[in-house]
Structure 1
Amino acid sequence: MLQDLFMALSSINDYLSIFITWAFVVPFLYNFASTINCRNKHVMYISLVMMLSYTFSLFMFKASFILTGSIYLDLVIADLLTIFTLVRLSYNYKHANATAYYYLILGLTFNAILHMAMHYDYVVLVSYDYWWLWGVYGVGQFSSDLLMAIVLIINKDILGLVKIKKFLFSSQLLQKTTQNK
Structure 2
Amino acid sequence: MFISYFSSDSFFSWFSTTETYLHWAVWDLVTLSLILLFAKFIKDQKPTAFYYVCTGLLVNTVLFLAIYYDIYVKYTKEPWILWDIYSFGVNIADFVMIVALIVDRDFLGLVKLKACLSSLLKHKVAHPQA
- Say if 1:88 and 1:149 are closer, same or farther in 2 by CA, change over 3 A: same
Letter in 2 for 1:149: I
Letter in 2 for 1:139: F
* d(CA) in 2 for partners of 1:54, 1:107: 13
Q: Is it true that 1:88 corresponds to 2:32 in the alignment?
A: no
Partner of 1:173: 122
Deviations 1:75-130 (A, max 9, x none): 11001001101100111113211111111111111000000011101110111211
Which of 57, 77, 90 aligns to 1:128? It is 77
User: TM-score, normalized by length of structure 2?
Assistant: 0.92
* d(CA) in 2 for partners of 1:70, 1:178: 48
* d(CA) in 1 for partners of 2:17, 2:118: 38
Does the residue aligned with 2:14 lie in a helix, a strand or coil?
coil
Which of 65, 68, 78 aligns to 1:119? It is 68
Unaligned runs of 5+ in 2: none
Partner of 1:52: 3
Shift of 1:174: 2.2
* d(CA) in 2 for partners of 1:95, 1:124: 43
Shift of 1:66: 1.1
Letter in 1 for 2:90: Q
Unaligned runs of 5+ in 1: 1-49
For the pair shown, the structure with the greater C-alpha radius of gyration is 1
Partner of 1:107: 56
Superposed structure 1 runs of 4+ greater than 2 Å apart: 174-179
Given that 1:67 and 1:74 are in contact with CA atoms closer than 8 Å, whether structure 2 keeps it comes out as: no
* d(CA) in 2 for partners of 1:67, 1:77: 14
Given that 1:68 and 1:74 are in contact with CA atoms closer than 8 Å, whether structure 2 keeps it comes out as: no
Aligned-residue sequence identity (percent) comes to 34
The correspondence of residues 128-167 of structure 1 with structure 2, limited to 5 A, is 128-167=77-116
Shift of 1:68: 9.2
Given that 1:121 and 1:127 are in contact with CA atoms closer than 8 Å, whether structure 2 keeps it comes out as: yes
* d(CA) in 1 for partners of 2:35, 2:19: 24
User: TM-score, normalized by length of structure 1?
Assistant: 0.67
Which of 73, 78, 81 aligns to 2:27? It is 78
* d(CA) in 2 for partners of 1:168, 1:137: 27
* d(CA) in 2 for partners of 1:96, 1:171: 20
